[in-house]
Chains A and B, each alone.
Chain A
């Protein structure tokens, strides 16, 4: 497999000291155009090394690709990601086989999001319609957010009127990002969202990372304030939102007052480091949850933020994370 042809085009002015081999020219000649003498790291295609399988319980996983026979035993029941063919249970997606009692299903590694009630998702508004918004949540069908299932500004409780409908674009418009909870799943699999808690709602400043939903670990809570100085929302749909930890927790307004104060450089550095850590974890197929992200963050501290994305660095810090997690689990 061939991957990673990375050509970082220099350093933007804000990033800390450039570390490339040939990177001192920029300051010497201020009038030069970008690219002429700036740093450029060229990488050639390399074969991807197999993930370090010696570690962890991952080795026990029964992995299949579409068409693989899972079992010929007829005593089992088929679940998602499988089909019956000639008395055999065959996988229809690539992923790991999971068994619950007599039920066998295959959890796809790379998949779209299929909603379940109670999930936390991060999504992007794609359309404003009558009494509802269409939201892209990386599922097969667009999700909907009904006007009646969102908080009105100021938390007013009443029936929504025609005036509210007219003001809809003022609340949320195309392109806005929101965090929400799945309220119901329709029979066709489409998801109905609600933001009826002040912690959900429009998202302000931050970084979005899109990963496969299968890599987000289900937990009691998906909102985490990490001790390193930033917060993350790990959407069950694979949308990870990294944002500066809000100062006044109690004054949650459900996203109706946008905080447009510039984010401090230090905070931005933490966020971009977190972002790169999440990307590394995902490349190495590690589950995302608060502890794994935090450990990865700590393991990445010796490296420059931008270096984290170099494959060898990624491998190194993820390996370290993995080891710490194993130790912690005992």
Chain B
């Protein structure tokens, strides 16, 4: 299988990854666009046959566009129009004439199927390869489904877009990006304002639905508006299946069924609706879709509506990226039909202008390699002569991106080194010694502070009126007066432990500017020449850089500005009275800290201070300038060090350590020998690519499947392919629970070996990656139950069940191959029987798109 397409395919891929220049050139030409007017002419005389000699000047021009170059002609073009264009047809025919193969890639299966059909009509010699269908793979024109690929974008849009925002709770749309691509800051801010004002109403949509009593939802309102203003057809993106359903239901209330509109709507959506029953056809007049839909399908609309700007990506809710936004909003605007496309984004949370701007104006996602190692990959590379996994790692795109950073880092090191050498300090040695002493003192000072900041020591002294010094990184607020302190419970996100935080409220001199437009958290200290305003600022305990032994009287009521300003005067008075600095609380004498460690630190400080005072430089008039120079030099030295470390890291082959660990695991489990020759087990594991090959091979060699019936084996294998979450854990009968336990034991052993081989793996996570939720469902289905019956057994979506079954069939096929490789016909027959048992009825009905 590995190389079944012949070298032509391979070479195309190689070109793809290296020939970026070619892409750009194509794009500059307007990509797929011939000279005006030529498309029609060429289209007419081009009828699927190979182009013959022609005198058509337009076509000749296009010949030079595509011909005379070894650059790849990219088959999948972006976001202009998804039907098979004349130019594309031409390019394919041209390639065929030149005896090259054509690979047309599309990111999703449905689109591949559609393209396959279209091309098949045109050129008979067409093949298709998707996850579950392979037709004529040796054809000269091959349509393939690949991972979503965002490499090639063009900024050119035939139909300009207008982006609107709909703040939840508000009742109007705000134009934020006009058709020229300008971001309307003022409009955006107004929209944000509406959001803020709406307050509670912001979540009104959700509450409304839950309560079930409130009026029509926002979506409802917008769709209605769209229909009123003739902006249909519309595609509505919703990021959860459940919402999608809920909205669709609401839509049924809307009466769009004026004949004219209905016709229009149905025309556009007939594709999607055809597969639904008659009854269903009456319902959706607007198409609700999840994100996958955006990747392709020939179904542009005039308006695109996002019901939310955040989506659940498996871990948590996040803002959709600008790349995703571009992809999805690109559905709006039909070429030749609409003069502009309309994109409406519903926002129901406070969205900061930066996030919003990024989302709407941002560029496409950068292409980053998601390359990672798998055992299957390692084994397959080990078994062929000549290539080894190390070589593969080195040549990967991931590595390429990594290497690309090297010149920059080298430059950085060089610059830093030059700077370092430029700085010349007189009498350097002694300065450095002095510098080191000061550094040590600073470090020790920090240690003392840490002791002082322990709540149990410092809290008793944080009475109102205490003078404290506050410093937040670069912001030195100087002395302030404690007003109060409070405890905040802070739950650590990972451990769930309670870790109380102490917040001290301090009256500080802040700059007026920083107080004006935001909450006190963002207060900035006043500049020395500025008068400043006294304000109470909450401060975390560890930001107190010093606690003095002085307490001031503070006015009872701090609300009037005058009272606060009077405190400032008192502070200044205190500072006047202590010209040598305000006396501090002594950690041992005053605060009574009895820690031995602290005493040691203080002794050290004394020793260093002594050395510092006795150092000849201490009284040198040039001290300050020399010292800052030295400080700068030391800083550069640190920079150089880190840059060098970075360089070293950049030069290593990534994932090499992981590869070593994985090889170690393979050796310990007996899949490969120490000289990297794969054994029988390794060969079996090579056959299994769609699930955990190590565990399945181990199970097979341990005879776990021997005593199971075909149904049991099939049910057991479902754990490997079902990946979604289900709240319901089914109660398994012993005939299923037994094999499951055995499997888990096997998995534990693999986890243990992996851990011994220093591969980072968490036994719990590993074990829980096998989800037994569908075992009983699959078992029942394999014994011949109806689909309706098994749907009732679980809360898992029907679609997920079908998906699971299909993947299960694939896995079973691979297991058949594996059983064959070890020469055990009984096992082979068992898995083959499993396939026939699950492959029936609706589960394996032909794809809805084909």
Interface residues of A (CB under 8 A from B): 75-82, 100-103, 105, 116-118, 120, 148-149, 151, 157-161, 181, 183-184, 194, 196-197, 199, 218-223
Contact = CB atoms under 8 A, between A and B. Distances in A.
Given A79-B822, A117-B686, A184 B4 contact: yes
Interface string B1-18: 111101110010000000
A168 to B, nearest CB: 16
Contact of A161 (B8, B99, B386): B99
Contacts of A100: 670, 679-681, 701
B683 interface: yes
Contact of B100 (A75, A148, A158, A220): A158
> Chain B's interface: helix, strand, loop or mixed, by majority?
loop
Given A101-B702, A120-B385, A157 B11 contact: yes
Interface of B: 1-4, 6-8, 11, 98-101, 138, 140, 383-386, 388, 670, 675-677, 679-681, 683, 686, 698, 701-703, 706, 822-824, 826-827
Given A102-B701, A103-B680, 18 more contacts: A75-B703, A77-B701, A78-B826, A79-B822, A80-B822, A101-B670, A105-B822, A116-B683, A117-B384, A117-B683, A120-B385, A151-B7, A158-B98, A159-B99, A183-B3, A199-B386, A220-B388, A220-B676
Q: Most B CB atoms within 10 A — which of A117, A148, A149, A161?
A: A117
Contacts of B686: 117
Contacts of B706: 77, 102
Contacts of A220: 385, 388, 675-677
Nearest to A76: B703
Contacts of A79: 822-824
Contact of A77 (B1, B11, B679, B824): B824
Contact of A219 (B386, B388, B677, B824): B677
Contact of B6 (A103, A148, A161, A222): A148
A159 B140 contact: yes
A325 B679 CA distance: 22
Contact of B7 (A161, A184, A196, A218): A196
Contacts of B4: 183-184
Nearest to A78: B824
A194 B827 CA distance: 31
Contacts of A197: 386
A118 B822 CA distance: 17
14 contacts: A75-B703, A77-B701, A77-B706, A80-B822, A100-B670, A105-B680, A117-B686, A118-B383, A120-B385, A159-B8, A161-B99, A183-B4, A220-B388, A220-B675
Given A120-B385, A194-B3, A158 B8 contact: yes
A184 B4 CA distance: 9
A196 B386 CA distance: 12
Given A105-B822, A118-B385, A157 B677 contact: no
A77 B698 CA distance: 13
A240 B100 CA distance: 37
A219 B672 CA distance: 11
A220 to B, nearest CB: 5
A146 to B, nearest CB: 9
A232 B538 CA distance: 81
Contact of B702 (A102, A151, A158, A222): A102
Nearest to B5: A148
Contact of B823 (A81, A159, A196): A81
Contacts of A101: 670, 698, 701-703
Contacts of B676: 220
Contacts of A181: 384-385
A103 B701 contact: yes
- The interface centre, meaning the residue of A103, A149, A161, A222 with most chain B CB atoms within 10 A of its CB, is A103
Nearest to A199: B386
Contacts of A82: 823
A82 B824 CA distance: 9
Shortest beta-carbon contacts, A-B, top 3: A80-B823, A118-B383, A101-B701
A184 B1 contact: yes
Contacts of A161: 99
Nearest to A148: B6
B385 A221 contact: yes
Contacts of B677: 218-220
A163 to B, nearest CB: 10
Contact of A102 (B1, B7, B386, B703): B703
Given A77-B706, A219-B677, A103 B822 contact: yes
Contacts of A151: 7
Contacts of A117: 2, 383-384, 683, 686
A222 B384 CA distance: 11
B703 to A, nearest CB: 4
Contacts of B98: 158
Contacts of B824: 77-79, 103
A77 B699 CA distance: 12
Most buried by A among B3, B6, B827: B6
